[in-house]
Amino acid sequence: MSELLAPAGSFEALVAAISNGADAIYLGMKQFGARAYASNFDTDHLKSAIEYAHLRNVKIYVTMNTIVFEDELEAMKQMIDALYTARVDGVIIQDLAVFEYVVQTYPDLEAHCSTQMGIDDAEGTLLFKELGAKRVVLSREVPISKVKEIKKIVKLPLEIFIHGALCVSYSGNCLMSGLIGFRSGNRGRCVGSCRKPYTLIDETNAITYTSCYLLSMKDLNTIDQVDQYKDIDSLKIEGRMKEPAYVANVVSAYRKALDGTITKTEKDNLTKTFHRTFTKGYLFGEDKKNITNITRPNNFGYPIGTIASKSELGYKIHLEDVLNQNDIIRIDHNGEDVNLTVVKMYDAKKNYINSSSTSCYIQIKEDLSIGDIVYKTKDVKFYETIQKSYPKEYKRFPIHLIVSAFEKQPLIIHATVEHTQITYESKELLELARTNATTDETFKTQFNRLMDTVYALDSLEFYHDEVYIPAKLINEARRNIVEQLNEKRLFRQENRLPKKVLPKLHFAKKNPTLAVYATTQEQYEAAKECGIELIYTEKNTIRRNATQYPPKTGPLLIGGYGGLYSYRSSNEITTDFSLNVVNSEAVYKLHALGVHRVTLSHEMNKTQILQLIENYKKQNDGLPNLELIVYGHTHLLFTKYCPLKKYNLCNSCKKNQYYLKDEYEKFPVISHTDCTTTLLNGKILNLIDDINTIEDISVFRLQFTIESKEETKEIIEMFKDRLAHKTTNKLFSKETNTRGHFNKEIL
């Protein structure tokens, strides 16, 4: 049976999820989780959460799915130590350093590969199975047919998202929030830059399209497809930022769907808590044209009526569903929203009313039009109902009792719950009854007062003389048995492995060289004409979402773990920035896996790079082999979605250059041959002033995307001059030049 995995951004949300049938909970701590703005848990609250969950046979997984910088490695390890001591069942991980610490230290703490790792094929899953993962959370872009194929091939527990918010970018491959909002998504602080309105511009033909929420994804809803994935090991609901009522509503619906008892009304109730309209997602082949909601980025609600007329009573709403006093509504007026709480509503005779299913009048100061659609975004009656669903016991665990009650002997009770057995023995001895001896029914009635526990009396074997057992003694026995059962069921023997002595891996120091990534044939020719020996192109690059791994020779640039698994026998592998490497232990692990050179993440600043190199040298008595991108329009996000399709512009990418524009700048759109899309920063990353101040970088890469052949040659020559300690920096203006994350800490 599949595990139903629910989110909890607070203890109340955790209780709501468990009360409505969740099998497992994932939550975050104050550090290292990808939802830094959720309430999250501290160590004391975590212990309470684990005790509450484990007594109900619900597992707890903690998200440590952010990248971890060099100066945070010790704090990360201390956090994992604390999680293990608190009896967490598993840790959801992005960073290789976190992964390695878990699997090499705690064999019975499950290491789950987060969707942030970008694993979307059997090859990447096989790699982490080999490295010790107990579960892989597949990318949201993987179709259900491929999920099942991976499960069949790899035979490792898999987890998929089945409901909730979607990222437009492949997870882990979005720098948009960090580079234009200065809050890194890979550090759990995404500001939702994709939820802003953008204008599509055809630069080639000077055409500007209507501004809309072009990158704002609908919410995933697969309630109608449950039968197609109920054999997958874990089914995840997104929503650690959501309120407890949302968690209760969604968990309840999917629990009933998995159990085969859900009704149409219960499915429809999914619209009564936060949603951005729904999509079946890439999981079930949603058309890219329909996967975004371009009209609004926030709670959509559901339609309940229209504006019918205006009079001295206010606006009349013709209702197709019930409207209650204190409901929250929004009215769509010419594409703009009017939002309000219905504090007062009237009937046609000017009487105050608190509910209507036909029509009502409300007073609104804004101008509306006849026919404007009214949506309900919060139904107070529904919220009252859903909030009554917690706290409660979704199920109670049956206790089986064997009771011995004999004269001059202590009361002895053997209690069994599932596989847990305990024994209670009273201090006092029993006496024969003078009048009414205690019967099995009397004992059962007294013992069965268990409503404040997770247990229920199921069976009783009562062996006895005609003795009298005081109610006080039965109550004491009940309390003691519950305490013993709880303690024994919560106990876990700790098992920590001794620290391994790792072989030292280091590389010889050499003078830095330039590499070029060429997107176009002209850029490739320019690099060759400038004497660049190491040139990456689409032919020797294995991107993050590669689906096939044909034989290749020569230097390879690998952007995903599936590619690393497939080509690791090559001795010329460079991993790309998309692996988000930001610490020395991740660099070491990649070198140990056969990676020749590691490209550092765009998210690092100069201080962090120098710290990484210094610590690597201390641990390995020598240098790592590192590559650093020092020029280019930085990749803001990489997505399976294509914004051009929204305007029926398929294939026009082959002849026209497109941009997205917000209120500040333009972002070049790069369309790939497989119809995936890269959105670039409009400003140019330029670290020419820094390349001679960072020692021990082997290769500085220039990343060319939309540059002409002439621009490419000029930029290459300029960087060559700087490496030769000349001072040329004439090509960049203040308007286009950026140092990205390089000279600042991005939170």
Question: Using CA atoms, how far apart are residues 224 and 45, in angstroms rounded to an integer?
Answer: 36
Mean pLDDT over the full length of the chain: 94
The pLDDT value recorded for residue 745 is 46
Question: Using CA atoms, how far apart are residues 269 and 481, in angstroms rounded to an integer?
Answer: 41
* Residue 88 reports pLDDT greater than 90: yes
Q: Work out the percent of the chain whose per-residue pLDDT is above 90.
A: 88
* Residue 41 reports pLDDT greater than 90: no
Question: Using CA atoms, how far apart are residues 14 and 489, in angstroms rounded to an integer?
Answer: 20
What confidence tens digit (pLDDT) does each residue in 143-189 have?
999 999 999 999 999 999 999 999 999 998 999 888 887 788 888 88
What confidence tens digit (pLDDT) does each residue in 592-650 have?
999 999 999 999 999 999 999 999 999 999 999 999 999 999 999 999 999 999 999 99
Main-chain phi, psi angles of 54, to 5 degrees: -65, -35
Question: Using CA atoms, how far apart are residues 23 and 323, in angstroms rounded to an integer?
Answer: 35
Could you give the C-alpha distances from 736 to 634, 703, 739, 740, in angstroms and in order? 12, 15, 10, 11
First to last CA, the chain: 40
Could you give the C-alpha distances from 331 to 212, 274, 294, in angstroms and in order? 18, 16, 17
The pLDDT value recorded for residue 729 is 55
What confidence tens digit (pLDDT) does each residue in 258-307 have?
999 999 999 999 999 999 999 999 999 999 989 999 898 999 999 999 99
Tell me what the mean pLDDT of segment 341-365 comes to: 96
What confidence tens digit (pLDDT) does each residue in 197-222 have?
999 999 999 999 999 999 999 999 99
- The DSSP line for 27-72 is EEBSSS-S-TTS--B-HHHHHHHHHHHHTTT-EEEEEE-S---GGG
Which of 543, 534, 616, 550 has its CA nearest to residue 577?
543
Q: Is 19 exposed, middle or buried (0-12, 13-18, 19+ CB in 10 A)?
A: buried
What confidence tens digit (pLDDT) does each residue in 421-449 have?
999 999 999 999 998 999 999 999 999 99
* Residue 96 reports pLDDT greater than 60: yes
* Residue 343 reports pLDDT greater than 80: yes
**Coil, strand or helix: which one is 281?**
coil
Its pTM surpasses 0.85: yes
The pLDDT value recorded for residue 734 is 45
In Å, how far from its chain's centre is CA 686? 32
Which of 588, 606, 583, 576 has its CA nearest to residue 694?
606
> Which tokens is 633 given?
């329009």
* Residue 747 reports pLDDT greater than 50: no
Helix, strand and coil content of the chain, in percent to the nearest 5, comes to 30, 30, 40
Could you give the C-alpha distances from 133 to 103, 107, 108, in angstroms and in order? 7, 10, 11
Largest CA distance in the chain: 110
CB 46, CB 80: distance < 8 Å? no
State the Cα angle at 557 between 651 and 702, rounded to 5°.
80
Question: Using CA atoms, how far apart are residues 620 and 602, in angstroms rounded to an integer?
Answer: 24
